[in-house]
Structure 1
């Protein structure tokens, strides 16, 4: 099995944001996302792999590939093309949480935005709260 790259590191989150955010808008949005995600999770930001800022952690197990391990609860990355928000479970029962979010593109289990002002921040908080709640409930199931 391939070694996982998305693991906690000791790299400084703010140094990463300074180096990686390729414009002032993305830099400011990244700092705002740190505040929002810290508020929702109650956790400090931590670098996961070389380019994701993650908050908290949970245990996961996949049913199809039998992979398991630790992953952050929510996170983001200020990538060149768009900001990747890892705040969505990808589950159909959570699809309704995207309804009033604003302007974004959806991946399998993340969403992509150009800038934070394109989305409804209250709806983003609700989405993150539901995602954190869901992942924490999965922790209990995965311990058994």
Structure 2
């Protein structure tokens, strides 16, 4: 294949719709529209998907089409260990020092209100390039950083 490949980010989770709503609020994304109908309920009925499977998958997209699609798939097991891959949510681009940390802390408060958990604050220091960040978890325990 020639040219760059596209990709999506996939989360294994218990509640694809709920986790998708959380990440829509974090990233300014929206739920992907159904291909043939106005609502997902109509689409799933047309596809003859059993109602107990309606929350088994969900996809959210950047309304501007610039950032990757995020897909959520239901799995039976819960999260048991630290993520090997995580998202860095760029909440303070171009800011440094106290201004950066104030912006990150403000965003952390907003996300806690949406159901996230703040795990720890890493203050700016010489060994991290004076950057600083905040480690968070989404409502299902997936780690991400406010950067």
TM range (shorter): 0.3 to 0.5
TM score, norm. by length of structure 2: 0.32
Bigger Cα Rg: 2
Greater share of helix: 1
TM score, norm. by length of structure 1: 0.32
